[in-house]
Amino acid sequence: NGLMNVISLEEIKSDQVEVEKLNGDISFKNVTFGYPGSNDKVFENLDLEIKAGERIALMGPVGCGKSTLISLILGLNKADQGYVMIDNIDVNSIRQNDLRRNVGVILQNVQLFKGTIEDNIKINADEITKEDFFAASRLSLVDEFVGKLPDAYKFKLTDGGKGLSGGQQQSLCWARALINQPNILVLDEPTSAMDMDTESRILENLEDYFDGRTVFFCTHRASFINKATRVIIINDRGIQVDMPAEEYLKKIQPVKEVSQIGKG
């Protein structure tokens, strides 16, 4: 699955559009997509409008197309038919490094590289200040464990981030996603390796940060659904549920049951 591959730097194509800042309006216009070699389509004639500033809880059973939807937004896959647009620009025509700078991503499959902690946080950052760097480290709680490591931010990681706990690795991914202060965040099970206390503190830190940003929470955790403004549930036939989060939460009381919704 292309989503789980490392998002590596690519050659800038001459026909690509240079974009300084994306606001976060995202639309799927009559999108059909299927993986090469498969006769089945993941999406057929999908239409979806997401306004800048909406926070989407994106749910559904394993294999329903959540990862595919994300990969289309990130330009990792291209629609067979129709268009995926960000701010009315075809996502495939936006320069890859502009897209990476404007979309903060945490993938379920943690991607850390050989190099220092600082290098790992700044991998997609072009020009950032020390203030930006330390703000991202504080919000993600990296600053709490890095001081205990020899060489702090210059501590060298091996491939895969060995030497750090799973939760610490995810904290680094949070810092990387936040460092450019993007208006779009795609968070795929972003706290799966964290304990509840760490997750709760990160969400508390980001209470104001999420405001006005387009955020995809790809998780069944109630703590994230409570931060969403809209719930979209996908199944193998496309979008099954699309409603305001407040309305959805009223329907599935008690809230603790949310963790079981859509799993399968």
Q: For residue range 16-51, list pLDDT tens digits in order.
A: 888 999 999 999 999 999 999 888 899 999 999 999
Residue 13 makes CB contacts below 8 A (sequence gap 6+) with 95
31, β-bridge pairs: 46
Q: For residue range 228-255, list pLDDT tens digits in order.
A: 999 999 987 789 999 999 999 998 865 4
The whole-model pTM stands at 0.87
* 56-65+103-260 CATH: 3.40.50.300
DSSP string, 93-152: GB-HHHHHHHEEEE-SS----SEEHHHHHTTT-SS--HHHHHHHHHHTTHHHHHTTSTTG
Domain boundaries, given as residue ranges, for the chain: 56-65+103-260
State both tokens at 55.
């926070």
Say how far apart CA 48 and CA 73 lie, in whole Å: 12
State both tokens at 29.
């216009």
